[in-house]
Amino acid sequence: MPEPTQTSPQTKTTVICISGMAGTGKSTLSKKLAEKYGLRYYSGGDALKELAKQEGYDTTTEGWWESPVGLKFLEERVNDPKFDKAVDDKLLEYAKQGNVLLDSWTMPWLLKGGFKIWLEASFEKRATRVAQRDKMTETEAIQVLREKEDRTKAIYKTLYGFTLGEDLTPFDFVLDTDNLNASEVFEVLCRVLENVVLSNADN
C-alpha cells in the first residue's frame, strides 16, 4: 500500500466515496487519489466483475461493462440481486475498517458518514468519452449506455429505493466535469480532500 503524502496525513477513520455515471472518469481518478493519499482502494465494479468471472463470464474484454457479455451479466443482476448485495455488504465491511476510498454507485446511499463525491457530466459528453475509451462509434456508445444505465437504475431502485444519477442528496461535493480534463478534475478533488476531509481527519 502506498505511503500517505507528507502534506496530507490521515487516520484510519478516513472514508471517501466517489461516484458518477460511466464516462465521468471516476475509476481512474479514484485510483489516483487513493494512491496519492495512501488510502486502500475498493471498487464495486471490480468486485462485480470478479463475481461474474466466478459465474463463468469472460471479463477480459476491453470496455467489458458496455460489451454484450457485460450487458448479459447486467441482465442476470436485474433478475437476481444476490450479486449486488454481496458486493455492497463487503464494501460496508471495508468502510468500517477506515482509511479507504470506495469507488461505488451504492455506498453514498448505504454508508453512514464518510465524505461523498459525485462526478457530474452530460450524457453526450459521457457517450463521447466511452466511445473513445472502448473504441466504438458514438451511436453505439449512446445505445449501450442507455441500456446499461436503465437496467442499473432499475436494480438500485428495486433494492434500495434511490434513483442513480438523479438523487444527489447524499453527496457532500458535486463536480461538473463537462468542461474539465482529467488532470483538472484530479487537481480540484485533491484540493477538496486536503482542505475539507484530510485536514479534519484527526478532529
131 vs 58, 82, 92, 136, 173, CA distance in Å?
21, 30, 32, 5, 27
pLDDT at position 1 over 50? no
Side by side, which strands form the sheet with 40-43? 40-43, 100-103, 15-20, 115-120, 173-176
Distances 74 to 12, 49, 117, 137, 145 between C-alpha atoms, Å: 34, 10, 25, 22, 12
pLDDT in tens, 143-162: 999 999 999 999 999 999 99
H-run or E-run covering 48: helix 44-54
Whole-number pLDDT of residue 134: 86
Is residue 12 pLDDT above 80, yes or no? no
Query: Does the structure show a pLDDT above 80 at 6?
Result: no
**Residue 203 predicted with pLDDT over 90:** no
Render 154-196 in DSSP notation, one character per residue. Answer: HHHHHHHS--TTT--TT-SEEEE-TT--HHHHHHHHHHHIIII
Q: Is the pLDDT of residue 2 over 60?
A: no
Second CATH level (architecture) for the domain 15-200: 3-Layer(aba) Sandwich (3.40)
When the pLDDT of each residue in the chain is averaged and rounded to a whole number, the result is 90
Question: Any idea which residue has 438500485 for its cell?
Answer: 156
Q: How many CB atoms lie within 10 A of CB 100?
A: 21
Cell of 43: 471498487
Indicate whether 11 pLDDT > 70: no
> By C-alpha distance, which of 37, 21, 36 is closest to 198?
37
**Whole-number pLDDT of residue 8:** 46
| pLDDT digit string, tens, across residues 83-135 | 999 999 999 999 999 999 999 999 999 999 999 999 999 999 999 999 998 88
User: And the C-alpha cell for 189?
Assistant: 478533488
In percent, the amount of the chain with pLDDT more than 70 equals: 92
pLDDT-derived band at 9, boundaries 50, 70, 90? very low
- Written as one letter, the residue type at 151 is R
Task: Give the pLDDT score at 104.
Answer: 96
